């Protein structure tokens, strides 16, 4: 999948969050890294059609992201989204959180939607948890339900915004293992993450945002082994300072 950003800019109340982002690359798995406030989540939301750019253009496989609401809805329906808190419906069971969007958004009949939900919950280690509501699940289980919901309709691309930020280390590992398995099965995704080990070893490409600018991007192994800018060198050294 080819993703292009052409002089992409986004401001909020006169404050520039993205300042002329240019990017053009084939993406299978892309990690977006950088310090807090650098524009990572904003970039992801623009890519997902959830937020308009102030100026510039975004293309996916050569097609610009549409601007009218009807076309945007069709575009969003081709993607899967996972946010920091999972974004689950708290009044629904885990099973219905997966099955309901299949029925309502994608027009899947009840029997097929239920079967797909059961299949994914079992596959993601949630067999027997389908009747529980999100409040009855652990943080790691909630994120796995959120990922199951995101992949249920077999989207062209997953967009994940710090999916492990609120999790304990044990649950973080569970979720990252699941994403690695999805990658091995051919799922394409773009993930905003502070998990540098995952970004380096499980994602083919990495993009470093800092201060609203895209300072580096390329093959993960190369970028991590040989950071070119002082900003990325400093960012990585600070993360490694307290590593075990």
For position 84, what pLDDT does the model report?
Answer: 79
Q: Which pairing describes strands 213-219 and 79-82: parallel, antiparallel, or unpaired?
A: unpaired
| 125-151 CB burial, b ≥16 within 10 A, e <16 | ebeebbebebeebebbbbbbbbbbbbb
Token pair for 150: 């995101």
**What is the C-alpha to C-alpha distance for residues 101 and 114, in angstroms, rounded to an integer?**
11
For position 24, what pLDDT does the model report?
Answer: 97
CA dihedral 45, 46, 51, 55 (to 10 degrees): 150
Per-residue tens of pLDDT for the chain, all 244 residues: 999 999 999 999 989 999 999 999 999 999 999 999 899 999 999 999 999 999 999 999 999 999 999 999 999 999 999 987 778 999 999 999 999 999 999 999 999 999 999 999 999 999 999 999 999 999 999 999 999 999 999 999 999 999 888 788 888 888 899 999 999 999 999 999 999 999 999 999 999 999 999 999 999 999 999 999 999 999 998 877 666 5
- What separation in angstroms does the CA of 141 have from each of 50, 203, 213? 26, 23, 35
For position 167, what pLDDT does the model report?
Answer: 84
- pTM comes to 0.93
């Amino acid at each position: 999948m080819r993703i292009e950003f052409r002089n992409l800019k986004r401001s909020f109340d006169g404050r520039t969050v993205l300042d002329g982002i240019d990017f053009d690359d084939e993406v299978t798995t892309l990690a977006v890294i950088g310090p807090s406030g650098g524009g990572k989540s904003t970039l992801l939301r623009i890519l997902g059609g959830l937020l308009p750019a102030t100026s510039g253009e975004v293309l996916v496989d050569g097609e610009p992201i549409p601007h009218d609401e009807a076309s945007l809805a069709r575009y969003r329906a081709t993607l899967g989204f996972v946010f920091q808190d999972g974004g689950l419906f708290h009044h629904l069971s885990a099973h219905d959180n997966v099955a309901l969007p299949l029925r309502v958004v994608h027009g899947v009949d009840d029997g097929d939607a239920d079967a797909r939900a059961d299949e994914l919950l079992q596959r993601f280690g949630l067999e027997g948890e389908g009747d529980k509501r999100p409040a009855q699940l652990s943080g790691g289980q909630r994120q796995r339900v959120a990922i199951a919901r995101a992949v249920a309709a077999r989207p062209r691309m997953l967009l994940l915004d710090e999916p492990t930020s609120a999790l304990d280390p044990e649950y973080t590992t569970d979720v990252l293992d699941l994403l690695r398995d999805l990658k091995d099965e051919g799922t394409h995704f773009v993930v905003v993450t502070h998990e540098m080990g995952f970004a380096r070893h499980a994602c083919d490409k990495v993009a470093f945002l800092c201060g609203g600018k895209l300072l580096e991007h390329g093959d993960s192994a190369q970028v991590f082994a040989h950071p070119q800018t002082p900003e990325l060198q400093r960012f990585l050294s600070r993360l490694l300072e307290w590593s075990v």
